[in-house]
Structure 1
Amino acid sequence: MFKKITLFVIFICYSVSAQTSYLNLSSENWTFNKQNENKKHKATIPGTIHTDLFQNQLIPDPFFGANEKQLQWIENENWEYETHFTLSESELKNQNIELEFEGLDTYATVFLNGNLVLEADNMFRKWTISAKAHLKIGTNHLKVVFHSAVQKGKEEAKKLSYTLPEKERVFVRKAQYQFGWDWGPRFVTAGIWKKVQLKFWNSAKIESVKYNQKVLNESIADLDFIFTIFAQKSGKYQIKLGQKSFPFELKKGQNVVKVPISIPNPILWWSNGLGVPHQYVFRFSLEQNQQKIEEKELKIGLRTIELIQEKDQVGSSFYFKLNGKPVFMKGANIVPPDSFLSRVSDATYFSLVENAKKANMNMLRVWGGGVYFDDVFYEACDSNGILVWQDFMFACSMYPGDEKFVENVKQEVIDNVNRLQNHPSIAIWCGNNENDEGWHNWGWQKQFNYSKADSTQIWNDYKKVFNEMIPQTLDSLLPKEKNIYWSSSPSIGWGRKESLLQGDSHYWGVWWGKEPFEIYEKKVGRFMSEYGFQGMPNLETLQKVMNKEDLNFTSEAFKNHQKHPTGYETINEYMERDYVVPKDFEDYTYVSQLLQARGMKTAIEAHRRAKPYCKGTLYWQFNDCWPVTSWSSLDYYGNWKAFHYQAKRSFENLLLSVNEENEIYKVFLVNDNFESYSVRLELELLSFDGKSLWENSKEVTVKENTSINVYEIPKDEFEKFDLKSSVLKVNWEEVKINYFFAKPKDLKLQKPNIEIKIINDFMIEISSDVLAKDVFLSSENEVFFEDNYFDLLPNEKRIVKLYKAAKEIKVKSLFDTMK
């Protein structure tokens, strides 16, 4: 029907006068009240019941101290939200008026002018109602009653003859982490957590737009743009893209229209560190009789992504190819940035993604116990070259499989896949987090005394959702090049040797198994999608959520901001292994961060040295939903812990890494770039006071996209030196590392005289007369330092950039804590 066109210029029109229009109801005056209570209070939309109660001073700050414990009553109540809005005669003349809720949390009964128009039961879905028949000229009344998700979940649980793990939460299509996790509080929210609006339209509306990438090579990209359009009545319409017009006939009802486009000499989208994440911008309009009906904008990135699983001598590979090139994935697991999601701004999402980019990451895994993030998160990933491993929202349990539940989840999948599939950052869709592993390895069958019939039913329900419904739905929604599905992460539990031979691995022998950090060097899988160790946030973060007198390990407030049952005991046990345990509380928080960074450095660099056997490392976890001691590298306020600075170093595309193996110190160079290098490797053994004890050099060639052992030093070569007071400095042009031969607690550190020279408001120079280990810079006005928690060699002059002027710079090193 249409001629294929070649697109040379994309014309973007900025002034819009479309027939389709909207009335934002979020900005109306809303009130809320507890059901059966008359007193009404001001509500904020989008919002949650907890934040509304707090803003009205009806509850204390949920995050402060141990307040969480006294606020659990909120989850058991029903809550009512309502507003009045005005419609004009001209607005009511529109042929169609739809009421759109982008997010209702979770069980909501909606009344429009007293008429029941919707009963919602899924936080993750968009709800659209045909509303014109219930509206009137003048004042209209909208009321939403939220029923307790906890009580609803308990009602559903009673319908089964057996108990599912995690009880009520698994029956509720709601952010699972809100029921409490080992890093997050229990705040089971309710409310209109996303925008609500009225949509006015007449002859037709665009329901969705997506594109298929039929051909992509150096010379051409052939695409089909696919529009789903609902027409009020049949007729002639056209889609305009720039100066090009595509006429077509629409029948009454739903229509699917394809518009073919060719782009000559296409520019590919690349992940961070490997190229530019180039995007093409298309703005198109649906028109009839030269009148615009609706406009849409679509940004796309041209790339191919493949998940390669090929059998080899030990198992099967598991890695991604981007644009035909194997790429080592470096990144982390990201959780919702707040317990109260309506508080998360666009700026927060952009900041999180920028912090991933700054740390040299190229992938974030959206963990299955949270939410499908707002569009701005994926847009930020698109523009910063961060690939996304997207879990569906299931985590650490088994779920029901009745027809109503499965259909609800199917609509959830449709809504979110249609919303997200055009983002070039989306690399893989994953069914769930640890459900399969939990079933096979966590002892639920014995714990809940399942009969053989119970176990069969539960496992069949699992397969119905994750092995049948979700992949079949993806097949119906996605073209082949966008449809990579992995049913559960990890594929095999960490206690089984097969977990390191195939699929993706969650390795928790460190932390949960209390194994030493050094075990990371042996337990390396094909793709490490979870592993981690806790570190405390900075003192300033804790001071924001507890009183000064509560900053100790015995206070209820402090204990409440550690959700792992043996978290502090585990940190302390590991700290005793590697560090002198400080007596001062502030020093302890600092050393706990060094401990976390040390453990994660060991893991990340072991994974990268094992390339190409291992082709991905995503640590647990990237961020926090509240101020807490957890596995995160960024705290709730976005501050970098020592670990995040270390991750930045360990994720560099060119990495030097020294590893002790038997009687040899091996120097590895890992090259993630698509080019080879021939450079001189320089090695020097220095005493902590700056004397050169030994040095050597070697011309080294490293091929593209590989890891290689470039130098070996027999241990006996260093026998005559006191290695507890020495450091091996390794340089490879701009790539530099320092390797220490003993654990931090055994190093013979000397008191450093650290000098800071102010160059200007945004730059300082720092130096020391002797080795200064783990230099920590801070300021009263919480300045971000581009480099921090670093080792400063004797007489080295290091330039550090600041993001704003510091009032007073404080400096600390490990020596200061070893008293």
Structure 2
Amino acid sequence: MLEATPLTDGWTLRHGEESLPAGVPGCVHTDLLAAGVIPDPFLGRNEAEVDWVGRRAWTYEARLPEPASGHEQTDLVFDGLDTAAEVLAGDRLLGRVRNMHRSYRFDVTGLSGPLTVRFRSAYAEAEAVRGRLGERPSAYAEPYQYIRKMACSFGWDWGPTLVTAGIWRPVRLERWSTARITRVRPLVTVEQGVGVVELRVDVERTRVEAELTLEAGVGGRRVRAAVRGTDAVVRLEVPDPALWWPRGYGEQPLYDVELTLHHGDAPLDAWRRRIGFRSVELDTSADVRGTAFTLVVNGEPVFARGVNWIPDDVFPSRITRERYRERLGQAARAGVDLVRVWGGGIYESEDFYDACDELGLLVWQDFPFACAAYPEEQPLRGEVEAEARENVVRLMPHPSLVLWNGNNENLWGFRDWGWEERLGGDSWGEGYYLGVLPRVVAEADPTRPYTAGSPWSGSWRRHPNDPAHGTHHSWEVWNREDYTGYRREVPRFVAEFGWQAPPAYATLRRALPGEDLAADSPGVLHHQKAEHGNGKLRRGLERHFAFPEGDFDRWHYLTQVNQARAVAAGIEHWRSHWPVCAGTVVWQLNDCWPVTSWSAIDGDGREKPLYHELRRLYADRLLTLQRRAAGLVLAAVNQSREPWTGPLVLRRMSVEGEVLAAANLELAADARAVAEVPVPAELEPTGPKDFLVADAWGSPGSPRSAEAGSANGLRALYFPVPDREVPYPSPVFDVNLVPGGVEVRARTLVRDLLLQADRLDARARADRGLVTLLPGERVTIRITGWETPDADTARRALYCQEPVR
């Protein structure tokens, strides 16, 4: 039987004349950090002080153990090398590599002694390729498109420039005889109620004449098949399988598939994975509104409640199985059902996709191309095809994976960002997105759809970012406009949009020790990577609030409010137009370091107010008041499997708390549908002093029940003017300790109440974000990690809207 021996111990990193202990898996930066050679680049402005690390060559050294008897062949296997390196056993060159996204295997049969991995600077490699192939345009000045490496390690508008090197995924020795399994492609389908698993298996032999068989099992069914030459097909059928569904649509049953390679009765190698039975299609049919982009799982059209995922650490080797599960669990608890793995990052580890399988999170997987023109000549073209084939096969067992996407924004960039003229006919990646990648997916994994890019309208006859066709990225709003601009269009699928806010207060305090925090203090500005980012934050605030000059705490609070308001404006509008719009994918779920960004969860894992707002926005049932051509309507978005019926109360109220007009209506929304209720004219707010409140009952599990002042209720609010024009009363409320948290009882209108738990204790977390209370209403905020509860301390950590002064 094949024996695998991890090679994780005994590695050193050569640093000048010194050798430092090296962690494998790991990278140069984490080794230098552990040895105290460099400061933490996440703190202060240390990022600039470690720039030299990415511009040097580095060498890892270990020893190959003495050859072991009993096996015919020994292979040295690297699951990931970052990025350009040569591998030597003693003085023998085993091979040269240049792709972070691939694994490598070298025959070391009979070899022992020194093992060396010499890494070239990624800058040197990229600049050498650029020198041979010529300049290509990109969104950033760094040369990331000339090397098959995680693009965002060269920096992004939310990430630091920390270009590292190292053995970033596991390494091992594999000893085997006669034959081994080299590749298994499980094609999993459901055909007329029968689950079908077709295992297409490739093997490598040391003995051509050996008679080999494969034995496979799934769901209590077992099959044997002979291997002819170096490949075989094994087909298994499972009658009436339990279907795998995205969360909110059903359960996530997983089946163990086992495959064993035999020579006679002797097992030689084994392959084991978990699969799920489900079908997935991408509906891109034409209609009167344009071209659809709707995911259909098990025949059920899905409105995708999505988030964009970036690498959770700029040093991916530090991301553990537990950290993946924590972060993806946060996504699931926010109502998310789709995670897009963005193209400037990596193909994530098995731990990521395992967690998505179990949580029912659909995965949209970008191929790693983002915001640049990529040369199509060698040495890159061969690397692109090899990495694509390997990763498509590696990830295809996962039922959560439902879509392959060719790139992020490159088709759009070619058309709109001046690339076409600058390229002058040079290659830029189109041959990958419309040629190589769809061919690889069709050949290796025909069970899943492929789309050429995001955004992409499906044809060069249309603009790539045409909102009426396919996927759309909405960035004009953040870059130039007010977030009310989201309501101008109804795209078919919004794959990127978002609004910035700083990280939690405790995260900033940890990242900027000793700094006198201000919106424009040196460390805060260094941890803002977006072009004119703070200026855009200010522009966005001034359209809605009086700008809090010189008041950091107020600025921090209001930017958090504005982020949640902006994302809500988009999602509420677009969800209310289902099924024309079939998904929203917020930019972004997470961060890779402590930074002001578009994330809902900051770089220390703390949940911003946006995260809690997503729980409301992505709940199965959502109430929203929307302006239509004929007037104001209440849209009841029902993505649950049951009809939504019950009483509906509309109240026009003054900011002083007086009910000016009211109506009792009935709500009826079909399952997986949107119902609209016209708001009577007399209930529409007439000016800055009044607003509309809509309460609906019959909504079990609503996260807003406490705010609504009634059990099992949902609420929508409509203020007709920006906050800076609303004559809010001075907020008056009582704060009392209760078991496990605090209770706030409002005596006036209290809008956007926020308890920033990390101001109580860096370890503290609150169970909710922004809350609006009418006079007489109360809310209980549960707090964990707060060891010395005190009502006065809690009051100081509470923020809300105040009268404009």
Taking structure 1 as the reference length, the TM-score comes to 0.90
The alpha carbon displacement at 1:144 in A equals 0.6
Question: Structure 1, residues 662-713: CA drift from partner, whole Å, max 9, x if none?
Answer: 6732111111123323322222334445443322121222122222212323
Partner of 2:456, secondary structure, is coil
The alpha carbon displacement at 1:149 in A equals 0.9
The alpha carbon displacement at 1:355 in A equals 1.3
Per the alignment, residue 231 of structure 2 pairs with 255
The alpha carbon displacement at 1:238 in A equals 4.2
Per the alignment, residue 506 of structure 2 pairs with 540
Question: Structure 1, residues 154-173: CA drift from partner, whole Å, max 9, x if none?
Answer: 11111235444356221100
The amino acid that maps onto 2:626 is N
Of 725, 730, 733, the residue aligned with 1:754 is 733
C-alpha change, 1:183 and 1:214, in structure 2 (3 Å) is closer
Question: Structure 1, residues 776-819: CA drift from partner, whole Å, max 9, x if none?
Answer: 22131432222122212322233444444553345413236966
The alpha carbon displacement at 1:181 in A equals 0.8
Per the alignment, residue 596 of structure 2 pairs with 629
C-alpha change, 1:657 and 1:272, in structure 2 (3 Å) is same
CA RMSD between the two structures = 2.3
| Residues 331 and 356, structure 1, Cα contact 8 Å, conserved in 2 | no
Question: Structure 1, residues 626-649: CA drift from partner, whole Å, max 9, x if none?
Answer: 100011111011111111111111
Tell me whether 1:32 sits opposite 2:13 in the alignment.
yes
Per the alignment, residue 220 of structure 1 pairs with 194
The alpha carbon displacement at 1:736 in A equals 1.4
Tell me whether 1:487 sits opposite 2:487 in the alignment.
no
The alpha carbon displacement at 1:766 in A equals 3.3
| Residues 456 and 464, structure 2, Cα contact 8 Å, conserved in 1 | no
Tell me whether 1:146 sits opposite 2:146 in the alignment.
no
Inter-partner Cα distance in structure 2 for 1:418 and 1:749: 58
Tell me whether 1:183 sits opposite 2:158 in the alignment.
yes
Inter-partner Cα distance in structure 1 for 2:651 and 2:543: 28
The alpha carbon displacement at 1:323 in A equals 0.8
| Residues 406 and 437, structure 2, Cα contact 8 Å, conserved in 1 | yes
The alpha carbon displacement at 1:330 in A equals 0.9
C-alpha change, 1:519 and 1:553, in structure 2 (3 Å) is closer
The alpha carbon displacement at 1:657 in A equals 0.3
The alpha carbon displacement at 1:620 in A equals 1.0
Inter-partner Cα distance in structure 2 for 1:154 and 1:379: 37
The alpha carbon displacement at 1:208 in A equals 2.7
Greater mean deviation of Cα atoms: 396-405 or 548-557: 548-557
Per the alignment, residue 169 of structure 2 pairs with 194
Question: Structure 1, residues 11-62: CA drift from partner, whole Å, max 9, x if none?
Answer: xxxxxxxx22211111x1211124xx32111111111111111211111111
Of 686, 691, 697, the residue aligned with 1:732 is 697
Per the alignment, residue 766 of structure 2 pairs with 785
Tell me whether 1:383 sits opposite 2:358 in the alignment.
yes
Inter-partner Cα distance in structure 2 for 1:122 and 1:143: 18
Of 287, 292, 298, the residue aligned with 2:267 is 292
Question: Structure 1, residues 90-142: CA drift from partner, whole Å, max 9, x if none?
Answer: x243211110111100001111123111211000000111111423xxxx221
The alpha carbon displacement at 1:345 in A equals 1.2
The alpha carbon displacement at 1:264 in A equals 2.3
Per the alignment, residue 522 of structure 1 pairs with 488
Partner of 2:233, secondary structure, is strand
Inter-partner Cα distance in structure 2 for 1:600 and 1:39: 51
Question: Structure 1, residues 429-468: CA drift from partner, whole Å, max 9, x if none?
Answer: 111101111111012345xxx3xxx52232xx52322211
The alpha carbon displacement at 1:505 in A equals 0.2
Inter-partner Cα distance in structure 2 for 1:684 and 1:540: 39
| Residues 317 and 613, structure 1, Cα contact 8 Å, conserved in 2 | yes
The amino acid that maps onto 1:423 is H
Of 64, 73, 77, the residue aligned with 1:96 is 73
Matches within 5 A, 1:72-221: 72-87=51-66, 91-135=68-112, 140-165=113-138, 166=141, 168-217=143-192, 219-221=193-195
Partner of 1:534, secondary structure, is coil
Of 223, 241, 247, the residue aligned with 1:272 is 247
| Residues 147 and 380, structure 2, Cα contact 8 Å, conserved in 1 | no
| Residues 634 and 677, structure 2, Cα contact 8 Å, conserved in 1 | yes
Tell me whether 1:331 sits opposite 2:312 in the alignment.
no
The alpha carbon displacement at 1:771 in A equals 2.2
The amino acid that maps onto 1:592 is T
Aligned length: 774
Inter-partner Cα distance in structure 1 for 2:295 and 2:227: 41
Per the alignment, residue 16 of structure 1 pairs with none
Tell me whether 1:508 sits opposite 2:489 in the alignment.
no
C-alpha change, 1:594 and 1:238, in structure 2 (3 Å) is same
The alpha carbon displacement at 1:404 in A equals 2.7
Per the alignment, residue 788 of structure 2 pairs with 807
Inter-partner Cα distance in structure 1 for 2:216 and 2:280: 30
| Residues 238 and 245, structure 1, Cα contact 8 Å, conserved in 2 | no
Inter-partner Cα distance in structure 2 for 1:498 and 1:195: 40
C-alpha change, 1:818 and 1:640, in structure 2 (3 Å) is farther
Greater mean deviation of Cα atoms: 666-675 or 807-816: 807-816
Per the alignment, residue 4 of structure 1 pairs with none
Per the alignment, residue 13 of structure 1 pairs with none
The alpha carbon displacement at 1:244 in A equals 6.2
Partner of 2:478, secondary structure, is coil
Question: Structure 1, residues 744-792: CA drift from partner, whole Å, max 9, x if none?
Answer: 223333333434444433x554322222222222131432222122212
The alpha carbon displacement at 1:554 in A equals 3.8
Inter-partner Cα distance in structure 2 for 1:23 and 1:717: 71
C-alpha change, 1:115 and 1:550, in structure 2 (3 Å) is farther
For structure 2, the residue ranges without an aligned partner over 5 or more in a row are 700-712
Greater mean deviation of Cα atoms: 333-342 or 808-817: 808-817
The amino acid that maps onto 1:549 is E
Per the alignment, residue 11 of structure 1 pairs with none
The alpha carbon displacement at 1:362 in A equals 0.9
| Residues 154 and 167, structure 1, Cα contact 8 Å, conserved in 2 | no
C-alpha change, 1:520 and 1:163, in structure 2 (3 Å) is closer
| Residues 688 and 794, structure 1, Cα contact 8 Å, conserved in 2 | no
Per the alignment, residue 36 of structure 2 pairs with 57
Inter-partner Cα distance in structure 2 for 1:711 and 1:625: 44
Inter-partner Cα distance in structure 2 for 1:241 and 1:215: 17
The alpha carbon displacement at 1:420 in A equals 0.4
Tell me whether 1:307 sits opposite 2:282 in the alignment.
yes
Partner of 1:684, secondary structure, is strand
| Residues 456 and 465, structure 2, Cα contact 8 Å, conserved in 1 | no
Question: Structure 1, residues 397-426: CA drift from partner, whole Å, max 9, x if none?
Answer: 111111431111111001111110111111
Greater mean deviation of Cα atoms: 733-742 or 640-649: 733-742
C-alpha change, 1:681 and 1:146, in structure 2 (3 Å) is same
Greater mean deviation of Cα atoms: 271-280 or 117-126: 271-280
Inter-partner Cα distance in structure 2 for 1:794 and 1:284: 65
Inter-partner Cα distance in structure 2 for 1:121 and 1:715: 68
For structure 1, the residue ranges without an aligned partner over 5 or more in a row are 1-18
Partner of 2:633, secondary structure, is strand
The alpha carbon displacement at 1:236 in A equals 4.1
The alpha carbon displacement at 1:338 in A equals 0.9
Greater mean deviation of Cα atoms: 546-555 or 406-415: 546-555
Matches within 5 A, 1:702-721: 702-714=669-681, 718-719=685-686
Greater mean deviation of Cα atoms: 722-731 or 343-352: 722-731
| Residues 217 and 258, structure 2, Cα contact 8 Å, conserved in 1 | yes
The amino acid that maps onto 1:748 is P
Partner of 1:226, secondary structure, is strand
Per the alignment, residue 23 of structure 1 pairs with 5
C-alpha change, 1:662 and 1:469, in structure 2 (3 Å) is closer
Per the alignment, residue 745 of structure 2 pairs with 767
Partner of 2:476, secondary structure, is coil
Greater mean deviation of Cα atoms: 273-282 or 415-424: 273-282
Tell me whether 1:682 sits opposite 2:659 in the alignment.
no
| Residues 663 and 715, structure 1, Cα contact 8 Å, conserved in 2 | no
Inter-partner Cα distance in structure 2 for 1:299 and 1:716: 55
| Residues 220 and 262, structure 1, Cα contact 8 Å, conserved in 2 | yes
Partner of 2:143, secondary structure, is helix
Of 550, 557, 567, the residue aligned with 2:523 is 557
Greater mean deviation of Cα atoms: 608-617 or 739-748: 739-748
% identity of equivalent residues: 29
Inter-partner Cα distance in structure 1 for 2:190 and 2:363: 23
The alpha carbon displacement at 1:222 in A equals 2.9
Partner of 1:192, secondary structure, is coil
